[in-house]
Amino acid sequence: MAKHIGILTAGGDSPGLNAAIRGVGKAAQNSFDMNVIGFRDGFRGLMENRVMRLEGSALSGILTVGGTILGTSRDKPHKMPMGNEYLDMTDVIVDNYHRHNLDALVCLGGGGTQKNAYRLLEKGLNIITLPKTIDNDVAMTDTTFGFDTALGIATEAVDRLHSTAHSHHRIIVVEVMGHNAGWLALGAGMAGGADVVLIPEIPYDVESVAGAILQRSQGGKRFSIVVVSEGALSKEDAVQIRELEEEKANASSKKQKKAANARLRELTATQAEHTVRLARQLEDLTRLESRVTILGHLQRGGTPSAADRLLATRLGTACAEMIQDGIYGVMVAARGDGTEPVPLDQVAGKRKTVPPDHPWIISARRLGTNMGD
């Protein structure tokens, strides 16, 4: 009997999602004679039973298209906004899974999606996931689709800013995405020839950054490029956050935990403006004019790179084969030129950050790139 599978995309959009949907769908139908449906707008669409048929024409012409034909959302099965409150809609999702006689549900997403998918696995559903995010921070996979495209966009932006920076005696501060992992900033900074790269894994000392810029200026360099990850922290902020997290973990009452949470949220909110604040601090310390460019969602848009199309297709077709073989409860991880099923309990709730001895960091330091420390 032919197997029935459902597909959804959740979390932030990312280049390569449509290539992955196509890879799963075409391989499932052409090689294994499966029936494939999609659910619109992530876990919310599955809860609301909003279905899209993924047959023939629906999968044609989408390989090069950015975004996701299924749409996406950040809604969580166990904490879904319903009117003015958040409700646990997991049981409704489980009912809809069985209503469609699904043999497996394929969830395409980043770290949050892996956690939400694992919750459904614990409810007895056959779940298999694919790792997507421009942040490249999903655990247990060599890389995620979406990262290569975003890296190319961020690098091109740094390249373009070089020309305007060269025309003025300025500091150009470029903020890139990456959440709490520095892969995107580090990669774009190195590929774009940045003079300073600041990532979340290495809390920075603004005096060190200013000193590196002044040294360049005194050596006759007319500009400096500073690439900053959106999650980068000064040493002072890093200490405050660590202390508040310890206070929260050791709280003996709900009231104390709530107070620590509130202070954490307040500090995190101020961090949203950390790049602008950093630029002002560098102006004060160096007496050099600074300009800030925040790339934002530009890094998620447009046509996926060839590398991301290949990766998404490879993971998608491997996913279909694993479903055919009855392999569930796993993420299809990229491993070298191949793929590997990794148990979801080894992925959910974990984050892949840049290790301090990573070859990219070693290379950057040997080039003389200032890492903020």
> Which positions are annotated as active-site residues?
135
CA distances 127 to 20, 103, 208, 248, Å, are 16, 9, 48, 33
Burial class of residue 280 in the structure, from the number of CB atoms within 10 Å of its CB (0-12 exposed, 13-18 middle, 19+ buried): middle
Which residues have a Cβ under 8 Å from the Cβ of 219 and sit 6 or more positions away?
Answer: none
Per the CB < 8 A criterion, the answer to whether 118 and 106 are in contact is no
Question: Phi/psi at 135 (nearest 5 deg)?
Answer: -80, -20
Whether the CB-CB separation of 153 and 140 falls below 8 Å is answered with: no
d(CA 366, CA 194): 13
**Locus of tokens 């202390």:** 243
- Listed in sequence order, the residues at least 6 apart from 265 whose beta carbon sits closer than 8 Å to its beta carbon are none
Rounded CA-CA distance 321/145 in Å is: 19
For 150, residues 6+ apart whose C-beta sits below 8 A from its C-beta are 14, 15, 134, 177, 184, 299, 300
Place of tokens 């405050």: 240
- Give which of 367, 165, 167, 191 is closest to 176, Cα–Cα: 191
Tokens found for residue 256: 């104390």
Residue 345 tokens read as: 């309990």
Is residue 103 classed as helix, strand or coil in its secondary structure? Answer: coil
306-324 and 147-166 helices, crossing angle to 10°: 170
347 — phi, psi (to 5°)?
-110, -45
Give residue for tokens 């459902």. Answer: 6
Coil, strand or helix at 277: helix
Report how far apart the first and last C-alpha atoms of the chain are (Å, whole number): 60
